[in-house]
Amino acid sequence: MTIMQKKILLLSTGGTIASVVSDAGLVPKESGEQLINMLGELPYDITVEDILQLDSSNIQPEEWKLIAEKIFENRNKYDGIVVSHGTDTMAYTASMLAFMLQNINIPVVLTGSQVPINVVLSDAPDNLRLAFAAAATCCPNIYLAFDRKVMLGCRSVKVRTINFDAFESVNVPPVAKVTSDGLVFSEQNLSKNTRECTLNTEINPHVSLVKLFPGFDPKLLFAMVKSGCKGIVIEAYGLGGMNYIRRNMVGAVGELIRQGIPVIASSQCLYERSDLTKYEVGREALLEGAISARDMTSESAITKLMWGLGQGWDVHQIAEFFNTDVVGEVTIEKDDTLRVD
């Protein structure tokens, strides 16, 4: 009896995984085919397409669109898709793909490596094998697979520059882990997708992500808006606090919102949620109309803002959008009304 092998498409985009040493430093040169050849026999029917050959520092909204279109085009021809990608912006790409390809009907798994595949002790072969296994077995969704963990793409963050455990699933457990039992799934491997997959690559990249620091001049926010910025994510302090003495960030937020610029307040802390209702410095911002990012990653918050603005939505619609769990990117608690009374 012949067992039907799963059909998996590898879309290769470059990154360290495909890099070689050159006089100019590491540059992505290896093709997807070369990556596959380094893995030896795999129990899948693999097709390869090279769509980009970039360090992921060069991956921007134009490339997100191309990757999303390629996935959409192939979503009914394969059982799963693996996207090889540089690690530096992989969490941004994974988050944006989740918004652009809502209700995706197959597993799409991004992976890369900290060390080029042609180096003896590279992490690339393990990461690629994991990505293929995830693409063959996970529920439909956008994932990031790295260092024996499979995470929801919109919850992943790059947290290390050198060590192999470069990514973490923030505020939710990984979807699956590799143990001696193989790929072991958590309960999260349940697909919520019941609707038709849509491709919507309309985004507005004219946004800013600002990390608040003591002494930050709120006038700079208005300068950004003057230069065309249409929405701002502020990584505020702790639960979402902002200063209002001397330099009035809270007042600036209110003014921007009255001008029609959505301002999202997230936390500089990587873990756990922002909750603007707790302290006066958060409540004031909330009263001025700041929109809470709750427990979203900054990568998800900024890509969600770009996508929402791309739909032509105003401040109220963006607030509504951020109060909605669209692709698993945010935890909305049942009675989480964020009222300040």
Ligand X SMILES: NC(=O)C[C@H](N)C(=O)O
- Residues that constitute the known binding site for substrate: 56, 87-88
**Per residue in 224-261, is it b (16+ CB within 10 Å) or e — as a string?**
bbeeebbbbbbbbbebbbbbbeebebbebbbbbbeeeb
CA 151, distance to chain mean position in Å, is: 10
| Ramachandran area for residue 338 (φ above 0: left; ψ -120 to 50: alpha; else beta) | left
Give yes or no for residue 310 binding ligand X (CB under 6 A): no
Known binding-site residue numbers: 56, 87-88
15, 80, 107, 254: residue in contact with ligand X (rule CB under 6 A): 15
32, 80, 112, 218: residue in contact with ligand X (rule CB under 6 A): 112
Give yes or no for residue 163 binding ligand X (CB under 6 A): no
Whole-angstrom distance, CA of residue 13 vs CA of residue 11: 7
Span of 55-63, 138-146, 196-204, 220-228 interacting with ligand X by CB under 6 A: 55-63
Which is nearer to ligand X, 18 or 291 (by Cβ)?
18
User: C-beta of 42: minimal distance to ligand X in Å?
Assistant: 22
Which is nearer to ligand X, 78 or 167 (by Cβ)?
167
Give yes or no for residue 30 binding ligand X (CB under 6 A): no
Give yes or no for residue 53 binding ligand X (CB under 6 A): no
7, 12, 16, 256: residue in contact with ligand X (rule CB under 6 A): 16
Q: Which of 87, 93, 201, 297 is catalytic?
A: 87
User: C-beta of 306: minimal distance to ligand X in Å?
Assistant: 20
Give yes or no for residue 32 binding ligand X (CB under 6 A): no
Give yes or no for residue 201 binding ligand X (CB under 6 A): no
Give yes or no for residue 88 binding ligand X (CB under 6 A): yes
Give yes or no for residue 56 binding ligand X (CB under 6 A): yes
User: C-beta of 17: minimal distance to ligand X in Å?
Assistant: 6
Whole-angstrom distance, CA of residue 189 vs CA of residue 250: 40
Give yes or no for residue 57 binding ligand X (CB under 6 A): yes
User: C-beta of 137: minimal distance to ligand X in Å?
Assistant: 25
Give yes or no for residue 204 binding ligand X (CB under 6 A): no
Which is nearer to ligand X, 51 or 139 (by Cβ)?
51
Look up 16 and say whether it is catalytic: yes
User: C-beta of 32: minimal distance to ligand X in Å?
Assistant: 15
Q: Which of 16, 111, 201, 297 is catalytic?
A: 16
User: C-beta of 173: minimal distance to ligand X in Å?
Assistant: 24
How many of the chain's residues bind ligand X (CB under 6 A)?
10
Tell me which residues in 68-87 interact with ligand X (CB under 6 A): 86-87
**Per residue in 160-193, is it b (16+ CB within 10 Å) or e — as a string?**
eeeebebbbbbbbebbbbbeeeebebeebbeeeb
Give yes or no for residue 114 binding ligand X (CB under 6 A): yes
- 1 contacts: CB under 8 Å, gap ≥ 6: none
Whole-angstrom distance, CA of residue 250 vs CA of residue 286: 9
Distance set, CA 229 to CA 94, 220, 236 (Å) = 23, 11, 19
Distance set, CA 178 to CA 182, 234, 256 (Å) = 5, 36, 47
Give yes or no for residue 299 binding ligand X (CB under 6 A): no
Which residues bind to ligand X, rule: CB under 6 A?
15-16, 55-57, 86-88, 112, 114
Q: Give catalytic residue positions.
A: 16, 87
